[in-house]
């Protein structure tokens, strides 16, 4: 199971990479494996200010739909438009070209719930 150590994680199986006041967010390798073949990604929160834990979109796989939860408070500033034509990027490259959104972090956003790679690995076994 691929869990890059430079990223932070959530119990809901999202990853986050924070660079300055912008974060890139996607789903983990574990999550994509559990979902199976992803056929559609829906994000209708572009330009919305959301609290940490809020639903920012959903991922549809062949047999299920799963909500996507924001790891940290902020404003959704970009959606990975490549996912419209190639949602399978979440399966093939979850930590690279399969990123889902970019988020402008809210001032004073709480990082305390984010997990290290080791803590996340302990949760998923």
* Cβ–Cβ under 8 Å, residues 17 and 43: no
**Residue 121 within any structural domain of the chain:** no
**Residue 33 within any structural domain of the chain:** yes
What local confidence, expressed as pLDDT, does residue 85 receive? 97
Contacts of 90 (CB under 8 A, 6+ apart): 26, 27, 32, 38, 41, 59, 83, 98, 100
**Residue 124 within any structural domain of the chain:** no
**Residue 46 within any structural domain of the chain:** yes
Range(s) of the domain holding residue 43: 8-109
CATH number of residue 37's parent domain: 2.40.50.100
Give the tens place of pLDDT for each residue, 43-65.
Answer: 999 999 999 999 999 999 998 99
Instruction: Give the total number of structural domains in the chain.
Output: 1
Q: Other C-beta atoms within 10 Å of 55: how many?
A: 11
- As beta bridge partners, residue 118 has none
**Residue 125 within any structural domain of the chain:** no
Annotate 46-71 with three-state secondary structure.
Answer: CCCEECCCCEEEEEEECCCEEEEECC
Give the tens place of pLDDT for each residue, 66-113.
Answer: 999 999 999 999 999 999 999 999 999 999 999 999 999 999 988 999
Q: Measure the CA–CA gap between 47 and 104, rounded to whole angstroms.
A: 10
* pLDDT interval class at 1 (50, 70, 90): confident
- pLDDT of residue 7 exceeding 90, the answer is yes
**Residue 63 within any structural domain of the chain:** yes
**Residue 71 within any structural domain of the chain:** yes
């Amino acid at each position: 199971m691929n869990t890059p150590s430079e990223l932070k994680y959530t119990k809901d199986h999202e990853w986050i990479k924070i660079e300055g006041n912008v974060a890139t967010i996607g789903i983990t390798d574990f999550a994509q494996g559990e979902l199976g073949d992803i056929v559609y990604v829906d994000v209708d929160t572009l330009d919305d200010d959301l609290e940490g834990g809020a639903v920012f979109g959903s991922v549809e796989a062949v047999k299920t739909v799963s909500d996507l939860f924001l790891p940290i408070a902020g404003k959704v500033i970009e959606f990975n438009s490549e996912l419209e034509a190639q949602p399978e990027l979440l399966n093939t490259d979850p930590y690279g070209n399969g990123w889902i959104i970019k988020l402008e972090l809210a001032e004073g956003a709480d990082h305390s719930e984010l997990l290290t790679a080791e803590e996340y690995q302990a949760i998923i076994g």
